[in-house]
Structure 1
Amino acid sequence: MDRVDGKTAFITGGARGIGLGIARAFARAGAKLALADIDQASLATAKSELSDLTPVETFLLDVRDRSAYARVADETESRLGSVSILCNNAGVAGDQHVTRLTYEYWDWVIGINLTGVINGVQTFLPRMLKRGGGGHIVNTASGAGLAATSSGLLYTTSKFAVVGLSESLRLALEPFKIGVSVLCPGPVNTKIISNSNDTRPSSSVTVEETKMWEAAITQANAFLAAGADPNEVGEMVLAAVKTDRLYIHTDRIMAGLIEARAKALLDAMPPAK
């Protein structure tokens, strides 16, 4: 897809952080935008900013809600035309210590980070296939989806799954001229930890857990502040869509860990016969 002008891009988590950076890049390139998010105020701000550049529609959407997703998809295509660029970007960076894991925490992280991506694919892909003419899907994973880090068990599990989904989906869609990219960012200057705190499981809203989250937010914000600019990441995503590139990295922070993981996998194989 060497040109995106005039095409409709649907972006989840599109009102803040990386999603907004992607939206800005696509708006400058002339794409029409459908932005979905759970923050109504941020949606309104994003629409006010970007409407001067391109047609923009916004939708309040929890990506775990499949019936709402289908309704929003119908509204998007009736207002902006067929979606040919899908950016499954919504996600949380929450986690829980291995000694305090609960089903509720698993469902929260996996539900948004993985099932939300699946819901986006299953909502829009059949439409793309039926219509023909190609398209492109971008799934936001993480550097933590390429090798285990200190990012946490739940987060790492969800992001590894998104990478595998994206790699296999790309192979499956090659005959249909639908490209797939997976964004594996390192640190990016966003408020994802603070935003994740707003949706964490209600059972964890205790004095002890709240103090732990406050400490984690302070530490994470300092780390992420030195990371990539979300607008630069948006331009990287736009370039990957135009050139049909599978992997999108924002830096080389994971290079050593990826190399070590690949070596460990190869070293664990039986000797060649």
Structure 2
Amino acid sequence: MTAGGDGLSGTVWAGARERRVRTGGVELCVAELGERGRPTVVLVHGYPDSKEVWSEVASRLAGRFHVVAYDVRGHGRSTAPRPLRGGFTLEKLTDDFLAVADAVSPDRPVHLVGHDWGSVQAWEFVTVGRTAGRIASFTSMSGPSLDHFGHWIQRRTKRPTPRRVGQLLGQGARSWYIYLLHTPVLPELAWRGPLGRAWPRMLERAEKVPGDGYPTSSLPSDAAHGAWLYRDNIRRRLRDPRADAHAHAPVQLITPLKDVFLSERLYDDLEEWVPRLTRRTLPAKHWIPRSRPDRLATWISDFVVSVEDGGPKAPAPGRYADRFGGRLVLVTGAGSGIGRATALAFAEAGARVLAVDRDAEAAARTAGEARGRGAAASWAETADVSDEQAMEKLAERVTTEYGVVDVLVNNAGIGLGGSFFDTTPQDWRKVLDVNLWGVIHGCRLFGRRMAERGQGGHIVNVASAAAFQPSRALPAYSTSKAAVLMLSECLRAELAGRDIGVTAVCPGFVNTPITSTARFAGVDAEEERRLRKRAARLYGLRGCPPERVAAAVLRAVARDEAVVPVTPEARVAYALSRWMPGALRRIARVKPPL
């Protein structure tokens, strides 16, 4: 096997170096970005793609790594074997990988990344003996090992239970295209005809893949040749899977939860085959190299760096660590109460946490504690959410220094009690400026950047049970929180088509510092102090900690829930507001014990 010299041969990757690697009767087209001498990351594409599927991810990785991608034999600018039958076996694909690895990184093992059929082949690379020592790590997405898949099927057929049979039938239905690809001639005719012409539009509509010139013009021949990947390997490996298919390098598994082709249940037993496994999940469909390049680049970078530093660090201890690890989460009002608890809960899930509060010392304390709780990174920022200009500067600074926020939690708020006629216009402005306009500023400034990025995200607006429970004692506060609830519902409808979820979290009586800082209209300072103490004592007796709300926030983001009442009284009030609003109106007439 020999490697050709470098040259610019028309690759669509800006600034890429291109070379040809000859092996096994074919010539592979290999593109490189980034400085040689840095850790080498090899990207392997799937079906019916070419290496260009990786262009967005590769450009994001090139600043830190030597990035390599090659067209699999018969795809893109690589030549096809002759004859096609028998030319795409996993053994020959392994020969190709080793030839590329030897050409681009002869002295150091490479970090392997595969998607779809690129992941299927890479599982072969990372589990066969002849590649031991050549692979430093493997990141897999949307493509299982055929050997592991074969054992998965055998276990469910030998010991069927209703659950196992359901899993088999479910994956069988998802695999409908595999049966068609085994038919002679038909797939080739379809791809070279109407399917090949329609495929870019289908990806854009069904998978929300941006229509930015991908896929390339080689798609019809790539797809026609790639059908032999299935024909040469699927039946043979599923009937007789290898018993020694254990990974000899650390593996990071990234599972898109909305993948219409592969069930996440396929990976239930993966720890048996991979002793050093890191799991990640994200709410996306199959083609994540195009739809979620930022998220993939971050996870790949973090994993490669951890391996280079001596091995993947222990996973974050919190629940949902597979979902939020490495994601950028911004929480307002993070200096205390629900905001602090939420920031720390995301930290325990391995997120990168931005703690924002108007109290700089409180924000710094939360950020410091987040680092000790498992956050991938944490920072403190100072801002008054009611100040439009301050929030605009914050959004610009955050985007420039840390990137686009993945999860925004608009939590900052203040309390105000007192009758409507005792509440002055100044009182109204203060409450609405913080409780409503603070949320509007956050949604507008950070939500817009999420939408413009086009890679999904989530916004959580902390409202209150007071949003749907009228009260004669809380007219201003209840109005502000009801507006937050309706804003959340409207924004959820608008952003649904952009894969951005919006949740309104509505706590009931929660023991937080807001009770000791709340203002009461129409009373003097001494009476206000008495009312604060009484409210704090009553909320303390209720005994609901802010950590319960924080857990609900993480669960709501993971499940993409719309409205989340927290605490029993909030759930009862929400149910009554929907089914018996008259009962809530009668309750609202009762004078509170304060």
Q: Does the 8 Å contact 1:182/1:248 carry over to 2? A: yes
Corresponding residue number in structure 1 for 2:555: 239
Whole-angstrom distance in 2 between the partners of 1:104 and 1:118: 19
| Residues 109-148 of structure 1, C-alpha deviations (whole Å, 9 max, x = no match) | 1110001100101111111111011000000100010121
**How has the CA–CA distance of structure 1 residues 169 and 30 changed in structure 2, closer, same or farther, with 3 Å as cutoff?**
same
1:51 lines up with 2:375 in the alignment: no
Q: CA deviation at 1:260?
A: 4.2
Whole-angstrom distance in 1 between the partners of 2:368 and 2:394: 20
Which shows bigger deviation, 24-33 or 49-58? 49-58
* Structural mapping, 1:141-160, within 5 Å: 141-149=463-471, 151-160=473-482
Corresponding residue number in structure 2 for 1:28: 348
Q: CA deviation at 1:255?
A: 4.4
Whole-angstrom distance in 1 between the partners of 2:474 and 2:482: 12
Amino acid at match of 1:189: N
Q: Does the 8 Å contact 1:24/1:231 carry over to 2? A: no
Corresponding residue number in structure 2 for 1:173: 495
Corresponding residue number in structure 2 for 1:215: 530
**How has the CA–CA distance of structure 1 residues 25 and 257 changed in structure 2, closer, same or farther, with 3 Å as cutoff?**
closer
1:71 to 393, 413, 416: 393
Q: CA deviation at 1:175?
A: 0.6
**How has the CA–CA distance of structure 1 residues 103 and 58 changed in structure 2, closer, same or farther, with 3 Å as cutoff?**
same
1:12 lines up with 2:332 in the alignment: yes
Q: Secondary structure at the match of 1:138?
A: strand
Q: Does the 8 Å contact 1:144/1:159 carry over to 2? A: yes
Q: CA deviation at 1:49?
A: 1.2
Q: CA deviation at 1:102?
A: 1.1
Whole-angstrom distance in 2 between the partners of 1:144 and 1:104: 21
| Residues 14-50 of structure 1, C-alpha deviations (whole Å, 9 max, x = no match) | 1110001110110011111111111122112212211
| Residues 77-131 of structure 1, C-alpha deviations (whole Å, 9 max, x = no match) | 2332220111010000123332322110000111100011001011111111110
Whole-angstrom distance in 2 between the partners of 1:118 and 1:209: 32
Corresponding residue number in structure 1 for 2:404: 82
Q: Does the 8 Å contact 2:326/2:350 carry over to 1? A: yes
* Structural mapping, 1:111-190, within 5 Å: 111-149=433-471, 151-190=473-512
| Structure 1 alignment gaps of length 5 or more | 268-273
Q: Does the 8 Å contact 1:36/1:60 carry over to 2? A: yes
2:568 to 248, 252, 257: 252
Amino acid at match of 2:528: W
Amino acid at match of 2:529: E
1:61 lines up with 2:376 in the alignment: no
1:39 lines up with 2:359 in the alignment: yes
- Taking structure 1 as the reference length, the TM-score comes to 0.88
- Taking structure 2 as the reference length, the TM-score comes to 0.42
Corresponding residue number in structure 2 for 1:270: none
Q: Secondary structure at the match of 1:148?
A: coil
Corresponding residue number in structure 2 for 1:228: 544
Q: Does the 8 Å contact 1:95/1:109 carry over to 2? A: no
**How has the CA–CA distance of structure 1 residues 260 and 136 changed in structure 2, closer, same or farther, with 3 Å as cutoff?**
closer
Q: Does the 8 Å contact 2:344/2:369 carry over to 1? A: no
Q: Does the 8 Å contact 2:328/2:351 carry over to 1? A: yes
**How has the CA–CA distance of structure 1 residues 190 and 150 changed in structure 2, closer, same or farther, with 3 Å as cutoff?**
farther
Whole-angstrom distance in 2 between the partners of 1:192 and 1:263: 30
How many residues in Structure 1 have an aligned counterpart in Structure 2? 260
Pairwise CA RMSD of aligned residues?
A: 2.2
Larger Rg: 2
Corresponding residue number in structure 1 for 2:429: 107
**How has the CA–CA distance of structure 1 residues 229 and 264 changed in structure 2, closer, same or farther, with 3 Å as cutoff?**
closer
Q: Does the 8 Å contact 1:95/1:105 carry over to 2? A: no
Q: Does the 8 Å contact 1:15/1:39 carry over to 2? A: yes
Q: Which structure dedicates a bigger proportion of its chain to helix?
A: 1
Q: CA deviation at 1:258?
A: 3.9
Amino acid at match of 2:369: E
| Residues 140-190 of structure 1, C-alpha deviations (whole Å, 9 max, x = no match) | 100010121355100010011111111111111111100011110011111
| Residues 175-229 of structure 1, C-alpha deviations (whole Å, 9 max, x = no match) | 11000111100111111022345xx9xxx7x9x5212221221111112212321
Q: Secondary structure at the match of 1:253?
A: helix
